[in-house]
Structure 1
């Protein structure tokens, strides 16, 4: 069977795209507007044609034909941590760009990812609108709200995944992956025996260090400063990595390793999102690296969903 072709919108650094590529799909075209995210994308996907313009300026006719439309569309307007304005927010309205391109290209499958709050936003009206927009284009819809720690990754990251099909039988056959026991914990991923660059360690003379030292009562957990004081993980599972790590450096999670107390590195953030070691950042500001880590997806969760798409695609 020829590899199915994917078009990726709001690609970010390519977390969804990576899951598709690892599963044998071909990502033929992608769009991303953030300049530093584009640099990271090109660094890791040199063979994919990346459009770096505002998606509202994209002519759908210029996009190569594809089978699957994938989009992790902007979530701030739906998130409990964002402004929750939904479609009243310019970023929320970008969802309709997905529908515009999908309506023009008519892919067999549309794959969407967003925050867990998407289904509850505006008393369910937002999700109903998304459902109706897809239904009006003759798509049949399945969705799940899934936490990454229930699918093998030691991070609490609950997201809504929507898979929409043109073919009713494919939709009827499709099943989201079953939850699985968590076998890895934070420090199966972060190696405390390896010294990080000195720049990541808190100065022992700083107030931040003194506060964190007093707060670290369990060295097998991960910590961070929050609006409510110092937050501590539970059961060796990281709290959700957020994009604001790139806005406020003191929101980057903190660990105690064999050499001191430090923030986790951008590469460790990627590892907690299930990215392979081969995935790397180009020469961009550190704050952009952290922001990109918080904005991306948990790759293995997406890959588990794609595995089911492969199964039913082979059946058809």
Structure 2
């Protein structure tokens, strides 16, 4: 079974996709304490090291076939300040190259926001591309949408980078083909079921604002500073980390019992997590929402990881 070392593991979305594709997660690292609690709750047997990657020596990281990293995207996100490498988190990419230089895995798998390609007029992506190529890796990259490649009714585009070590780069990596979207948001959100009272708006300025703007009761709405936005075809707007870091940023729906926030379970379902995956009672609901927005669409990862495994298994 091919092995994976996981950087910036979060709650384990990338790890879960690789596990589903038949990989073994031999080592993982995450700095956020709340995310680590969720990770350990769902992957109790994985060797997760909690702490700053800058303080971890490469000698403490085992050898692996694949190195994965969903490195922090906020420095490059349109929704963020777009500081890029000027941001402390943006500089964490160079921790990835430090480990690549020492461990030389067969494959490096990276995930980030699509704006990574345009940030600073393309200079940021060029640094990342060259940062991988300098160690003798052939670099593939593509922006994929969760609704086209994961059968998830969420509008979510991400860039997926696959870098293959030069001694096996003759094994061409091929991205998965688009697939038909058969899952509907109504398969995830059952408006006839009453949810816990904590999810419902009942009065106040926000309730009045939502009532005034939510005209289509089948839609899913995203709240911004300036508007209550909805998407066509009842698709789920992109789930973002600010759901847990800003008041009243969780997506909202209108069910048979009133106007409410998307539940945690619904958020996980829109990211393609299995039903047995959930949050421990040792984190706050805000932490959980943030983790949902920060994680990945698992079925997309699983399809890409399957292609990596097929490539590695070629003789």
- If the length of structure 2 is used for normalisation, what is the TM-score? 0.96
Q: 1:171: Cα distance to partner?
A: 5.9
Q: Is the contact between residue 171 and residue 314 of structure 2 (CA under 8 Å) also seen in structure 1?
A: no
Distance 1:147 1:98 in 2: 25
Partner of 2:116: 118
Partner of 2:18: 20
Uncovered stretches (5+) of structure 2, i.e. residues with no partner: none
Q: Is the contact between residue 21 and residue 303 of structure 2 (CA under 8 Å) also seen in structure 1?
A: no
Partner of 1:277: 275
The structure showing larger relative contact order (alpha-carbon pairs under 8 Å, at least 6 residues apart) is 2
Q: Which runs of 4+ in 1 moved over 6 A?
A: none
Partner of 2:46: 48
Partner of 1:62: 60
Distance 1:183 1:213 in 2: 30
Q: Is the contact between residue 60 and residue 101 of structure 1 (CA under 8 Å) also seen in structure 2?
A: yes
Distance 2:238 2:176 in 1: 21
1:83-102 CA-to-partner distances (Å, cap 9, x unmatched) read 11111111100000011011
Q: 1:288: Cα distance to partner?
A: 0.3
Distance 2:97 2:177 in 1: 29
Change (3 A) 1:171 1:238: farther
Partner of 2:189: 190
Q: 1:172: Cα distance to partner?
A: 5.0
1:238-260 CA-to-partner distances (Å, cap 9, x unmatched) read 11111011112311000111221
1:81-92 residue pairs with structure 2 within 5 A? 81-92=79-90
Distance 1:276 1:84 in 2: 33
Q: Is the contact between residue 245 and residue 251 of structure 1 (CA under 8 Å) also seen in structure 2?
A: yes
Distance 1:286 1:249 in 2: 12
Number of residue pairs the alignment of both structures matches: 313
Distance 1:188 1:286 in 2: 23
1:202 counterpart = 2:178: no
Q: Is the contact between residue 6 and residue 68 of structure 2 (CA under 8 Å) also seen in structure 1?
A: yes
SS at match of 2:266: helix
Q: Is the contact between residue 4 and residue 25 of structure 1 (CA under 8 Å) also seen in structure 2?
A: yes
Q: Give the alignment partner of residue 259 of structure 1, picking from 257, 260, 280.
A: 257
Q: Give the alignment partner of residue 78 of structure 1, picking from 76, 79, 84.
A: 76
Q: 1:310: Cα distance to partner?
A: 1.9
Q: Is the contact between residue 165 and residue 171 of structure 1 (CA under 8 Å) also seen in structure 2?
A: no
Partner of 1:250: 248
Uncovered stretches (5+) of structure 1, i.e. residues with no partner: none
